[in-house]
Amino acid sequence: MRAHWIGLLGLMAAGAQAEIFRLAPGQDSIGEPGQTEAEQKDTLPDIARHHHLGFDEIVAANRDVDTWLPGAGTVIRLPMQHLLPDTPRTGIVINLPDGRLYYFRTDRAGNRVVETDPISVGRMDWKTPLGVTTIVRKEKKPTWYPPKSVRETHLKDDGDVLPGAIPPGPDNPLGAYAMRLGIPGGAYLIHGTNKPVGVGMQITHGCIRLYPEDIEFLFGEVPLGMAVRIVNQRIKTGWIDGVLYLEVHRPLEGVEPKDIEDLTSLTRRIVAATARRRVIIDWDAAERVFEEANGTPTRISIDRWIAPGGAPILSRQTP
């Protein structure tokens, strides 16, 4: 696989795929877009995992490419730039529509950093709940106890009889590590997987699923009691060097039509983003980004905001 990186500034943790970015005050964006050429044996999921991306995000960025047979020499866009969710930048933040976990912390040198990982989230009939919770338990080589509702669904849909407990090993869908969330009922976890190809899809029973290499790293870094904030922000805005960018994702499956953000929601979001920084908006570009909803941050301001005193605001990630 021949990769052509375009200014990737993430620091790769030794022995792990986690991308860790240093954060400057007021920074709204991390990473840079990139591209690679597929080899004959590649699939988009192969390329996604190699570049620390999820299934849905690489498919959304390459809708003109065959998912399973992209073909030798095909240029694959790598959506490795992300606008940060509009949340407090502390602890773990999970944004369901962009299929990403963000872990904000201070490193050993005292720098504010953020790690981001692709995730799978709950499918339409097993929604991942929104809100703020904490990590209440960490388990290495966990046993999975499928809830009665999950066993009934497997039996009905697949004729698959699940046992009451699945021990650690290659058949355990939790993988090698799990962190239990303090959501009532105790059934929600951040965990690994025995089927990495599905990471990045909306396919779980409500849990947050990561690549094995990502959960191993996160498991070692995250302490008990860490705050976890789960949000649904498919429309994100952010400033990069005084320019306003827009990133839009597809709505989650199972969301009621009345609850899906429309163009009015988009307008409100842009108006809020420009309340204190006045720029001219290219509304045609904003509407196009909204309709495409491919998860790629795109410039929507025609001019550049200049801070008082004449110096443009800098919000690019620092190396």
Residues with a known catalytic role: 191, 207
Q: In angstroms, how far apart are the furthest CA atoms of the chain? A: 69
Neighbours of 22 (CB within 10 A): 18
Closest by CA position to 298, among listed 317, 282, 275, 315: 282
DSSP per residue, 232-254: ---EEEEEETTEEEEEE-PPPTT
Residue that is written with structure tokens 């929601």 in the block: 265
φ and ψ of 288, to 5 deg: -65, -45
How far is it, in rounded angstroms, from Cα 276 to Cα 281? 14
Q: How far apart are CA 274 and CA 272, in angstroms?
A: 5
Dig out the tokens for 201 from the structure. 């899809």
Would you call 313 exposed, middle or buried from its count of C-beta atoms within 10 A (0-12, 13-18, 19+)? middle
Amino acid at 227: A
Q: Which of 154, 167, 111, 153 is closest to 317 using CA atoms?
A: 111
How many residues does the structure list for the chain?
319
Looking at residue 259, the DSSP 8-state letter turns out to be G
Q: Give the whole-angstrom CA distance, residue 18 versus residue 216.
A: 10
CA-angle at 246, arms to 265 and 82, nearest 5°: 120
Strands 189-191, 208-209: pairing is parallel
